[in-house]
A and B are shown apart, each in its own frame.
Chain A
Amino acid sequence: MILFTRRVWGFRLIDVMGIGLLIALILSVYLAKTFAGRERGEIARVEGEISVEHQRVRLLQAEVAHLERPDRIAHLSSTYLGLGPVKFTHEIAPEALSSVLSATPPTSREAPL
């Protein structure tokens, strides 16, 4: 067999091919693992950032909900702004706005100069 009899640089061809294949395999495994490790690290880092941001978003949502508690808003608006529940006189259907505005006399601000 030529693989076992032919020599290259004093080595049998089969040995050279074997060593070459071995080096190629070692390199490919090394590169694959290196890239995989790098990618995994990157994914973990991004996942970690997403997780932290997700937690922060949820914390903010909870804080917003806490600050917008209906009883708190009602207390603040009545204490500092003197506001209360909307009276029925302040309710109007959108389609009825024009008729109400035409029936209301213009205020001084709206009067022509």
Chain B
Amino acid sequence: MSFTLQSLPIPNWRWIRDLVWRIEHAFERARAAGRAEDDTRLRIFVVLAIFSVGFVVLAVGAAKMVIFPDVSRIEAVSREGGLDRADLVDRNGEVLALDLEHYGLYLEPHDIWDIDETRHALRAALPDLQATRLDHALNSKHRSFLVGGLTPTAKAQIHDLGLPGVSFEPEQKRIYPLGGTAAHVIGFTDTGGLGLEGAEAAFNDDIRKTADSNTPFNLSIDLRVQAALEDELTKAAQEFHPLGAVGVVTNVRTGEVLGMASWPSFDPNHPGQATDDQKLNRAASAVYEMGSTFKAFTVAIGLDTGVATPESTFDARVPFHLGYRTIHDYHAAKKILSLVEVFQHSSNIGTARLAEQIGPKRLSQYFIALGLTRPAKIELKESAMPLIPHKWDDDAVASTSFGHGIDVSPLALSRAMGALLNGGTLVPLTIHKLPKDAKVVGPRVVAEKTSLQMLQIMRANVTGGSGGKADVPGLSVGGKTGTGEKYVKALGGYSQTQQVSSFAAVFPTDGDAKTDRYFVLILLDEPHGDSATGGFSTGGWVAAPAAGRVIDRISPFLHVQRQTNLASLVSLPKPANPGDER
């Protein structure tokens, strides 16, 4: 070593060479000084001490690992195969979507003994697998992914084939056990676990974060309400054969969406097999000229501005000219109507006369305040932009006062209606469950008095107006029918036969402004009347009955008490068996 060190060419290393030389010759120097043993013992002691310290450190470390195991490492091990996304549940904890462990199949061509046998066996086990994809994987030079999403059963079947070169790796797959139920609210993810539609997309980051805490993510919908809504919507759709249909149930005080249905629906487990029409959430993404349901806004604005009172009268004896339009009544009463009668008869003439008195400026200001000129405020990314008049003039007033010339989404209508019915504040809609004590605030758009008056007027429309078919025994249901003629480009105008028929309902209408109330919207796009409706396809014939049935079914779930006379209840004839009652 000294030879090597001496041959070092670098002058700066001279001190190292000197140090090594002194150490190497220390024993010689000690022997020369007559203290050779002492020097050796010291060296041994130093070396022993160093090793001892090292071993003590190792022993302490090992003992610490035994006594205080690293919890984070164990957790990290258990998180392998953990959840990518939290479970989605309804407001009562019913499962809507969850991650389940599936398996991805991988091929290692170098380990395969018989390619033809492997190809034949895998084709038999996975009949949906594309032959080209399999051949590509078999002929690859590297290990490659073949197919994912295998259930434990499918994995076991392939594993039992004993094919060399075939291996599996666990992966999480999003499952929607309810199939098409609430599909548009829940939405779906891509294969990488990224939310693409519905709540999955709206709360993508929150759902991922919640997965870490191993707690489910609550949506606002009530599965019982959702099921009743979908059932009645489907029955209405099967009866009247519309292009599409929408159902919405909200709590007008909190803005929580308790049910949202769009027909036709799809299975979010297989979104690729569904058409765009099926995947379209008509409640959020489609806009419609709502027709007469908009009269509720015009009447409320008239009351709120002081332009009218419930007793104010309007001449509906002859058609009314406003702007470029001549306005007729669908069911011409041809008499002077009070404001309540205008609402009950759904008089276009009376409503337009009221709108004229309100004026374009105030009408547009209220429409803006009610959120009708913007996408509905809700977490859903697919919330559609409304189509509104370019200019708020007499023509626009004449049209929009009864729901023409303005296209809004059913959710936008639901939100604005909620403001008329909850005491006058515009609260945002939400599909996320709110805490019980949550205080929802929003800008005031109409006075509390106006809101209470609207509840009474809507109730009067069900007890003695166009919404009679939505009445439910024992419940104070209010509502407004709507039948909007559709603009057909080919005709260059509005069609007399193609309509958007709807019914906007609220219950209970009694109680003070703080009472929990529920808004129900049923909308059918181009329904066809049948013999039961006398061929009519207006909102009062096709949508109001469905809304009434929905309210009848969901009121127990929402703890809305019926005001039923017990004597009449017990005197009703008993059915032969429960099945006869349908």
Contact = CB atoms under 8 A, between A and B. Distances in A.
Contacts of A86: 553, 556
B137 interface: no
Interface stretch (B6-14, B93-101, B122-130): B93-101
A89 B575 CA distance: 11
Interface stretch (B325-333, B504-512, B562-570): B562-570
Nearest to A81: B579
A29 B54 CA distance: 12
A92 B230 CA distance: 25
A50 B214 CA distance: 14
Contact of B45 (A14, A28, A59, A70): A14
A84 B562 CA distance: 20
A100 B74 CA distance: 61
A66 B177 CA distance: 5
Contacts of A96: 566
B56 A25 contact: yes
B581 A87 contact: yes
Contacts, number: 130
Contact of B572 (A51, A62, A84, A89): A89
A66 B63 CA distance: 50
Nearest to B99: A58
A76 interface: no
Interface string A17-34: 010011001101100110
B132 interface: no
A55 B582 contact: no
Describe A's contact surface by its main secondary structure.
helix
Contact of A88 (B58, B94, B472): B472
Contacts of B45: 14
B336 interface: no
Contacts of B580: 82
A100 B566 contact: yes
A91 to B, nearest CB: 6
A59 B55 CA distance: 50
A14 B474 CA distance: 100
A45 to B, nearest CB: 11
A47 to B, nearest CB: 5
Contacts of A74: 227, 231
Interface in A60-113: 61-63, 65-66, 69-71, 74, 78, 81-89, 91-93, 96, 99-100, 103-104
Contact of B178 (A32, A51, A66, A84): A66
B101 A55 contact: yes
Contacts of B98: 58, 61-62
B578 interface: yes
A39 B570 contact: no
A103 to B, nearest CB: 5
A54 B231 CA distance: 34
Contacts of A40: 69
B63 A104 contact: no
A4 B231 CA distance: 96
A32 B65 contact: yes
B48 to A, nearest CB: 5
A16 B100 CA distance: 62
B577 interface: yes
Interface residues on A, range: 35 or more
Nearest to A25: B55
Interface residues on B, range: 35 or more
Contact of B582 (A44, A51, A71, A78): A78
Given A32-B66, A55-B100, A70-B231, A84 B48 contact: no
B572 A29 contact: no
Given A43-B69, A83-B579, A61 B95 contact: yes
B62 interface: yes
Contacts of A103: 566-567, 570
Contacts of A50: 78
A104 B55 CA distance: 90
B52 interface: yes
B576 to A, nearest CB: 11
Nearest to A62: B177
Interface string B64-78: 011001000010011
A39 B59 contact: no
Contacts of B51: 22
B446 to A, nearest CB: 33
Contacts of B48: 18
Contacts of A104: 570
B570 to A, nearest CB: 5
A85 B65 contact: no
A88 B180 CA distance: 28
B473 interface: yes
A35 interface: yes
Contact of B58 (A18, A29, A36, A99): A29
Contacts of A87: 581
B322 interface: no
A78 B45 CA distance: 92
A40 to B, nearest CB: 7
18 contacts: A21-B52, A26-B55, A28-B62, A36-B65, A39-B69, A43-B69, A61-B95, A65-B178, A70-B227, A71-B180, A71-B231, A88-B473, A88-B474, A88-B564, A92-B569, A96-B566, A99-B566, A104-B570
Given A62-B95, A86-B556, A92-B569, 5 more contacts: A4-B41, A39-B66, A62-B175, A70-B231, A74-B227
Interface of B: 41, 45, 48, 51-52, 55-56, 58-59, 62-63, 65-66, 69, 74, 77-78, 81, 94-96, 98-101, 152, 175, 177-181, 223-224, 226-228, 230-231, 472-474, 549, 552-553, 556, 561-562, 564, 566-567, 569-570, 572, 577-582
Q: Which 3 A-B pairs have the closest CB atoms?
A: A82-B579, A70-B227, A32-B62
